[in-house]
Amino acid sequence: MAHLPVKIAPSILAADFTRLGEHISEAIVGGADWLHVDVMDGRFVPNISFGVMIPQAIRPLADAANVPLDVHLMIEEPDRYLTQFAGAGAARLTVHAEATRHLHRTVQAIKELGVKAGVALNPATSLTAVEEILPDVDLVLVMTVNPGFGGQQYIPQSTDKVRRLRQLLTQRRSNAWLQVDGGISAKNAAEVAVAGATSLVAGSAVFGGEKPVAENIAEIKNHVRTAFSI
Ligand code: DX5
Ligand code: ZN
């Protein structure tokens, strides 16, 4: 089977925390390419999720399967916690452009820890917020909902933003991942992939509902495959 042009990153925020390890194993066996870890501080976003203990706890599962931990920091002044999360096994640390005053410095600090650096943009934040540091980043995350909660509706204008970011990355000859996060499901996976996303985060579409996790992941992948005729 031809190589899928996008990586699927299930967000563990939507997993069943009474059996987190089991749910994560199901995702890994079911074809999760990355594991997305949503850290929320109750300040940058209204919700508090968890701290470093969760990536620490799931790291052995991820390492054993060679599945990278993709850590999304929805926290104010993320510089304060970079060392901790890098130490907890994050392969990539994504910070919000809106949460740090000196984004360039934050990105350099992540890279100095030997970790890939990502920058996330809220729905109302223009692509210009990341333009100047594109050569330094490994990933740009386009939030397709307002961050803070799982299970929200995809904001339709996001598709155009993804398209414009894809053009920008192409112009700048950047190989950075283009990640989308929020309200992604089998219904819109093909749309965002065709628009240029290369990494799809999905929480409730993977871990919610009645169907097995593996089936949910396969469904998302199949929609992308069909769109690319592969
Ligand atoms: C939202 C988080 C997302 C969220 C996605 O603030 O960054 O990663 O868990 O969940 P769904 O896929 O349910 O929208
Ligand atoms: Zn996220």
Per-residue pLDDT reduced to its tens digit, 14-29: 999 999 999 999 999 9
Q: Which atom of ligand 1 is nearest to the CA of 183?
A: 14
Find residue 131's DSSP bridge partners.
Answer: none
pLDDT at 2 > cutoff 90: no
pLDDT at 89 > cutoff 90: yes
216 CA to centre of ligand 1 in angstroms: 16
Dist. CA 162–CA 160, nearest whole Å: 5
**Is 93 in contact with 57 (CB distance < 8 Å)?**
no
Across the beta sheet with 139-143, the strand order is: 7-10, 199-202, 177-181, 139-143, 116-121, 90-96, 69-74, 35-40
Burial annotation 68-100 (CB, 10 A radius, 16+ → b, else e): bbbbbbbbeebbebbeebbebbbbbbbbbbbbb
17 CA to centre of ligand 2 in angstroms: 17
Nearest to 106 by CA among 124, 89, 118: 118
37 CA to centre of ligand 1 in angstroms: 10
**Ligand 1 pocket, residue 13 CB under 6 Å:** yes
Alpha carbon 187 to its chain's center: 18
In the block, residue with structure tokens 């192409």: 170
- Phi and psi (nearest 5°) for 25? -60, -40
Per-residue tokens: 4: 């899928």
Nearest to 59 by CA among 28, 88, 18, 25: 88
Helix axes 20-29, 53-65, angle to 10 degrees: 30
**Ligand 1 pocket, residue 146 CB under 6 Å:** no
pLDDT at 92 > cutoff 80: yes
What confidence score (pLDDT) does residue 154 get? 98
What confidence score (pLDDT) does residue 120 get? 99
What confidence score (pLDDT) does residue 4 get? 85
pLDDT at 1 > cutoff 80: no
Q: Spell out the domain ranges in the chain.
A: 7-227
Q: Which CATH class is domain 7-227?
A: alpha beta
Name the E strands within the chain. 7-10, 35-40, 69-74, 90-96, 116-121, 139-143, 177-181, 199-202
Percentage of the chain with pLDDT > 70? 100
pLDDT tens-place string over residues 139-191: 999 999 999 999 999 999 999 999 999 999 999 999 999 999 999 999 999 99
Q: Which atom of ligand 1 is nearest to the CA of 146?
A: 6
**Ligand 1 pocket, residue 201 CB under 6 Å:** yes
**Ligand 1 pocket, residue 36 CB under 6 Å:** yes
pLDDT at 99 > cutoff 80: yes
Q: Which residues are catalytic?
A: 38, 181
- The length of the chain in residues reads 230
